[in-house]
Amino acid sequence: MNNFRDFPQISSLIKDENLKTYPLYLRTYFSKCVIKEMKKKLQKNLNENIEKTAILNEIQNKIKHFLKNDLQNLINASGVIIHTNLGRSVIDEELYENCKKLICSYSNLEFDLQTGKRGSRYDSLLEKFKILFECEDALVVNNNAAAVFLILNTLAKDKEVISSRGELVEIGGSFRIPEVIKAAGVKLHEVGTSNKTHLKDYEEAINENSALILKTHKSNFSLLGFQSETNLEELKILSKKKKLILYYDLGSGWCENLNPHLSKNEPEVKKLLKNCDILSFSGDKLFGSVQAGIILGKKKFIEKLKKNQLLRMLRVDKLSITFLNETLKFYLEKKFEKITTLKLLNDSLDHIKQKALKVQKNIKFKTSLQKSKSLVGGGSMPDKSLETFVLAFEGKALFLQKKFREKNIIGRVENKNFILDFRSIKEDELSHLINIINSMDTL
């Protein structure tokens, strides 16, 4: 057909046999889209001949594309445990079940059951943070980026913040410390150089406009060779003497039961708190819970944050509060195996080997078992890796990577082989993984 009047009606397209299995809203929406596109095409070239089957095919392609983009489960065989693109930390099913009861019902989120008056949504978390971290006060916002913003905006607005040039970092997703400082209405006073910043650099920068010293954890890169930074203990003495606030943006905080290889030289939240006024970290990196910015520190500063009007815009939903609350309970009960991120990070090499062998034995394709190294990820511990076992497949690596990706299995290419890394694969995913691989005809 090459005439507008001959175009099929939407009502006839949505009844087509091949489209029938898809939901009506998708059939209707994409039929309209495709008809519009085809009419445009025809306007450009009146000789174009458009068949009804071409229209139907295009509708089906668009629906398939839409469904492929929908949120769905993946198997993370990349070996990167805190994988930002794959949703960072995974929630344990028992933890989820505990939350489900609270989320699927009304709760005392902001209601004081004793007085019958309005309560604070942060109260359920506060006491638990105090027990776990021995902090004076705590607050939770949407993510750690929001925490950095709120802290700077509240405690240093229209004043200066001092930061080492070696710590003016970019986190990814276009989050850059200098930009955030500017957006918070704070003037950045840079000190030192990219590789070295001494205590005297901070000292010399202090003037009547200084409000805060910011220390940022080098969470996603490491500096080797001729380098030095000023440590928190030295900055604590200086900030006290000069009556400045000392804030540590920790990024990815850990608190309990991390294996010694990973925790070596990594700052632990509880210890850091003794040396700064306020600190913040992400809820879904090493802490292993949901997206949140966890702020801990001195009561007099956190009270100020709570009074900032911006908090209303950065505040967390009951879903996040519920998940954090249940995570904190598991930490306090020392049920660390319920924190999936920690569980995977602490998994023994022997157990990882068993997981790999189980899959190797039960799939129809030939693989070889190899030792390799996994990354923590999530901008955490760039200079540390973890031993792991992988299964390497025979065949063209990039082709296989794509083929597995189409089946929602995310592996990586190493030494020209496509591999599945069992460090980041959970035990309860193994049978599903075996089934998917065996459902493939060939590799």
Pick from 252, 322, 401, 424: which binds ligand PLP (CB under 6 A)? Answer: 252
Binding range to ligand PLP, per CB under 6 A, among 13-21, 57-65, 245-253, 332-340:
245-253
The residue among 171 and 321 lying less far from ligand PLP, judged by its C-beta, is: 171
Contact 254, 294 (CB under 8 A): no
Sort strands 293-297 and 409-410 into parallel, antiparallel or unpaired.
unpaired
Q: How many CB atoms lie within 10 A of CB 130?
A: 14
The residue among 105 and 174 lying less far from ligand PLP, judged by its C-beta, is: 174
Binding range to ligand PLP, per CB under 6 A, among 142-150, 322-330, 358-366, 418-426:
142-150
Query: What is the widest separation between alpha-carbon atoms in the chain?
Result: 83
Contact 252, 281 (CB under 8 A): yes
Which residue is closest to ligand PLP by CB?
251
Pick from 98, 216, 327, 374: which binds ligand PLP (CB under 6 A)? Answer: 216
Binding range to ligand PLP, per CB under 6 A, among 140-148, 155-163, 196-204, 367-375:
140-148
Report d(CA 297, CA 284) in Å as an integer: 20
**Residue 164 binds ligand PLP (CB under 6 A):** no
The residue among 281 and 389 lying less far from ligand PLP, judged by its C-beta, is: 281
Q: Nearest Cα to 75, choosing from 371, 431, 332?
A: 431
CB of 253 to ligand PLP, least distance (A): 9
Cα–chain-centroid distance for residue 218? 17
Pick from 124, 143, 153, 340: which binds ligand PLP (CB under 6 A)? Answer: 143
CB of 171 to ligand PLP, least distance (A): 4
* C-alpha dihedral sign at 391, 393, 398, 399: negative
Pick from 79, 251, 253, 288: which binds ligand PLP (CB under 6 A)? Answer: 251
Binding range to ligand PLP, per CB under 6 A, among 184-192, 222-230, 249-257, 334-342:
249-257
Binding range to ligand PLP, per CB under 6 A, among 112-120, 138-146, 321-329, 355-363:
138-146
* 427's tokens: 């035990």
**Residue 289 binds ligand PLP (CB under 6 A):** no
Judged by CB under 6 A, how many residues of this single chain contact ligand PLP? 16
CB of 380 to ligand PLP, least distance (A): 7
The residue among 327 and 360 lying less far from ligand PLP, judged by its C-beta, is: 327
CB of 248 to ligand PLP, least distance (A): 9
Q: Nearest Cα to 393, choosing from 406, 404, 407?
A: 404
The residue among 230 and 388 lying less far from ligand PLP, judged by its C-beta, is: 230
**Residue 379 binds ligand PLP (CB under 6 A):** yes
The residue among 35 and 213 lying less far from ligand PLP, judged by its C-beta, is: 213
The residue among 220 and 257 lying less far from ligand PLP, judged by its C-beta, is: 220
Report d(CA 71, CA 159) in Å as an integer: 43
CB of 252 to ligand PLP, least distance (A): 5
Q: Which residues are CB-neighbours of 78 under 8 A, at least 6 positions away?
A: 86, 410, 411, 412, 421, 424
Binding range to ligand PLP, per CB under 6 A, among 181-189, 247-255, 385-393, 404-412:
247-255
Pick from 210, 282, 341, 424: which binds ligand PLP (CB under 6 A)? Answer: 282
Return the residues of window 291-350 that contact ligand PLP according to CB under 6 A.
293
**Residue 386 binds ligand PLP (CB under 6 A):** no
- Which residues contact ligand PLP by CB under 6 A? 143-145, 148, 171, 175, 216-217, 219-220, 249, 251-252, 282, 293, 379
